[in-house]
Amino acid sequence: MNELTRYASPVQHPQGLAWDGAKMWVTSAANGKLYEIDPLSWTVQREFVPPAEALGIAYAGRDFQLILAPSIDEPDLERDHRYVYAFSPDEGFAERFICPDNSGSFLAYAMGTLYLSQAWDKKLIELDERGSSVREVRLERRPVGMTIVDDAFYLVTVDDAWVDGRFERLGIGADASSIQTLRSFPFKPRSVAFDGERFWTADRNNDAIVSFELA
């Protein structure tokens, strides 16, 4: 297993990561905004302000899918209603549907299908076009980031105390009992992106974005 390579994040408290084939897209837990990052200069190219705070993001080929949440100082389930939005730099943000049970953290997309993770409920959910649950996978740990590579989920997960970060693999159609732990992290990870060679995750609390490869 290769070592972790750390980069100072040009965005404060990086949270959601997505790779579009050329640029890295990052959401900020500090202000809820979305940023386009040049991976060569590691600088912000563009900044976008969504209608609510941006959490997870996934590239869907022609546009992006994001989870947006209201800004709430204290936990409030009556107000914390989360939505999936479509986004493109040219057309902006467009609401698609509310998350199942108003809950969602991160997204992954493959072959026309969108998947959503619920960290508190420890679930991965396959969604249909209207945002309804098609299939659910219950996990033992909290999924706090995911992407799809070669018909498998690659997840970052934490324990019930939101620590003990791990990188795990699960086949898209597989049962949770077949999940494989691939490595651990010495920090609390958030999100996963894959650029064709390397995986990326965010060390949100220390304002860093981290890359690594699989042996």
**Cα 182 from chain centroid (whole Å):** 18
CA distances from 56 to 1, 17, 68, 113 (A): 26, 7, 8, 16
pLDDT of residue 70: 78
- What mean pLDDT comes out for the span 133-139? 96
Task: State yes or no: pLDDT of 73 exceeds 90.
Answer: no
- What mean pLDDT comes out for the span 72-81? 59
CA–CA distance, 23 with 200 (Å, rounded to integer): 13
Q: 3-class secondary structure for 167-197?
A: EEEEECCCCHHHCEEEEECCCCEEEEEECCC
Task: State yes or no: pLDDT of 178 exceeds 70.
Answer: yes
Based on the structure, what is the number of domains in the chain? 1
Task: State yes or no: pLDDT of 79 exceeds 70.
Answer: no
What pTM, to 2 d.p., does this model score?
A: 0.94
Task: State yes or no: pLDDT of 72 exceeds 60.
Answer: no
What are the start-end ranges of the H helices in 29-180? none
- What mean pLDDT comes out for the span 22-45? 96
CA–CA distance, 15 with 181 (Å, rounded to integer): 22
What percent of the chain is predicted at pLDDT more than 70?
94
Output the domain CATH number for residue 24: 2.120.10.30
Task: State yes or no: pLDDT of 71 exceeds 90.
Answer: no
Which range marks the domain in which residue 61 is found?
5-212
Name the phi and psi angles at 24, rounded to 5: -95, 135
Contact 175, 159 (CB under 8 A): no
Q: Which amino acid is at 78?
A: E
Contact 18, 1 (CB under 8 A): no
- What mean pLDDT comes out for the span 80-84? 88
pLDDT of residue 77: 52
pLDDT of residue 215: 74
Sheet of strand 64-69, all strands in order from the earlier edge strand to the far edge? 53-59, 64-69, 83-88, 92-98
By three-state DSSP, how is residue 29 classified?
coil
